[in-house]
Structure 1
Amino acid sequence: MKRTATMALVVLASVSCGTQHQTATPATATTVPVDATTAPAATPSPTPTPSASPTGPPPFSAKVTRISRDRLPYSWRPGCPVGYRDLRLVSLTYWGFDDKPHTGELVVRSSVTDDIVTVFRKLYGWRWPIKQMKLVDAYKGSDFDSIDADNTSAFNCRPATGSSNWSNHAYGIAIDVNPRENPYVTSDGHTEHQNAKKFTKRPTKGKGVINPGDKVVKAFAQVGWEWGGYWAGTKDFQHFSKGGG
């Protein structure tokens, strides 16, 4: 009996120890979940802000169209050396004295529209400035008033200055560019326009000024237009015409 009781105690003790081991093992092996309320919040990736693409001035544009008689109430009349049906309206982009693009209008003969577009495309690309560009009819056909307003213009059915012969402007193959900065100057250095007196000498510096041999003169020369600044005696610094004169 004593031997049996002793064995029973041994078995009981062994079972008791095994139970404790099995209980402890799961406790040490269990992974405790992280409380979501205490976990650090993930930092969201910043949403990229699209940067504004730089926008420059609009590209040069030019449109050549026929012009109606009513657009030329002062600059054309019966008896002019070119019919108005042979003239064209050129609407084109130019760079202003305010360093901004503008759209201006010129009237020229149909045969020289390509020349005008070619030259003014270059001037715009260079950002070479022009004060303004309106038909001379905005000044009731007055060449003097158009010049005084520093207006770049082309066709005007009028005689050449100081002559009874038709000007090349009357044929639609001449243009005056920034006439205040580039005045008509007599051989003794005189100009009729008070606001142009400081521009009578060449070469000179200034916005919109044309000087001998500069890129504006060369651009016109490349399409066969001559500059009045090269005339002997009287100088017409504003004036370009197809074939001269």
Structure 2
Amino acid sequence: MSNLYFVYTVNMNESLKNAVIDSDAAKEDILMQNPDRPAPGHILNSQDILEVQYYGFDGALHRGQIVMHKDVARDVEVFFKTALAMGFPLSKVIPISDKKYAWDDVVSCNDNNSSGYNYRLIMGTDRMSKHASGLAFDINPVQNIYVRYDENMREIFRLPKEGVYDKDAAGTLTGDHPLVTLMKGLGWDWGGDWKPQSGRIDYQHFEKTI
């Protein structure tokens, strides 16, 4: 493993009463419609709100929430439980509907927020994202950047703009990382496997087709 990450002795029965609360919103607030792009009712009704625990970059135990399609919720729970057990740090996990993001993926990524469901288009296209159905989630965008390339495979855009992909940095996903291996084994695609020839690489991104 080339990846370095925090290592903790994790007691899975550890009390959460002193955890840092990153998100503890009510269902009606989390699944609030985006007034600029309201989702069909059947899309909203297919989402689950997962309560997740993780270690932050501050070394403290945190609690957050992520919204995912009901059919993949179990997989995502396994991801977060595994990340907790291995001490993989996450900056924060807050639904994109939170007022400080207001469904804006750029704002969320710049804040290094890990999130799932967001009824939106694929950036730079007129096609719906897997996030729009809750079948994708992003992890630590600052460490795991999204990059677009032109036809000559030159980088033309990155998100976050100041993000740097360093395989040895804590919180970074790589092709041989146990969390990537885990999710691929559960049938997920990892955006870090995409090539510049495809026009993009998305190290933060996992998606699944059901």
Band of TM-score, shorter chain: 0.7 to 0.9
Structure 1: 5+ residue stretches without partners:
1-54, 62-66
For the residue of structure 1 that corresponds to 2:141, the secondary structure is: coil
Cα deviation, 1:15-65, whole Å, max 9, x if unaligned, reads xxxxxxxxxxxxxxxxxxxxxxxxxxxxxxxxxxxxxxxx9655489xxxx
CA contact (8 A) 2:33 2:39 kept: no
* Deviation at residue 115 of structure 1 after TM alignment: 0.5
What code does the residue aligned with 2:113 have?
Answer: N
- Structure 1 residue 243 and structure 2 residue 203: aligned? no
CA contact (8 A) 1:88 1:113 kept: yes
- Structure 1 residue 214 and structure 2 residue 181: aligned? no
* Deviation at residue 163 of structure 1 after TM alignment: 1.4
Query: Higher relative CO (CA 8 A, sep ≥ 6), structure 1 or 2?
Result: 2
1:101-180 matches, cutoff 5 A? 101-138=61-98, 139-180=101-142
* Deviation at residue 209 of structure 1 after TM alignment: 0.7
* Deviation at residue 95 of structure 1 after TM alignment: 1.4
Structure 2: 5+ residue stretches without partners:
1-8, 16-25
Normalised TM-score (structure 2) = 0.78
Structure 1 stretches of 4+ with a deviation exceeding 6 A read: none
- Counterpart of 2:59 in structure 1 is 99
* Deviation at residue 243 of structure 1 after TM alignment: 3.4
For the residue of structure 2 that corresponds to 1:229, the secondary structure is: helix
CA contact (8 A) 1:183 1:191 kept: yes
State percent identity of aligned pairs: 27
What code does the residue aligned with 1:220 have?
Answer: M
Greater radius of gyration (CA): 1
Aligned-partner Cα distance in 1 for 2:13–2:34: 31
CA contact (8 A) 2:141 2:160 kept: no
Aligned residue pairs total 181
Distance 1:159 1:217, change over 3 A: same
What code does the residue aligned with 1:85 have?
Answer: N
1:1-245 matches, cutoff 5 A? 59=13, 68-75=27-34, 78-80=38-40, 82-138=42-98, 139-187=101-149, 188-189=154-155, 190-196=157-163, 198-199=164-165, 204-233=167-196, 234-243=200-209
| Structure number having the greater helix percentage | 1
For the residue of structure 2 that corresponds to 1:93, the secondary structure is: strand
What code does the residue aligned with 1:235 have?
Answer: I
For the residue of structure 2 that corresponds to 1:129, the secondary structure is: coil
- Counterpart of 2:21 in structure 1 is none
What code does the residue aligned with 1:92 have?
Answer: V
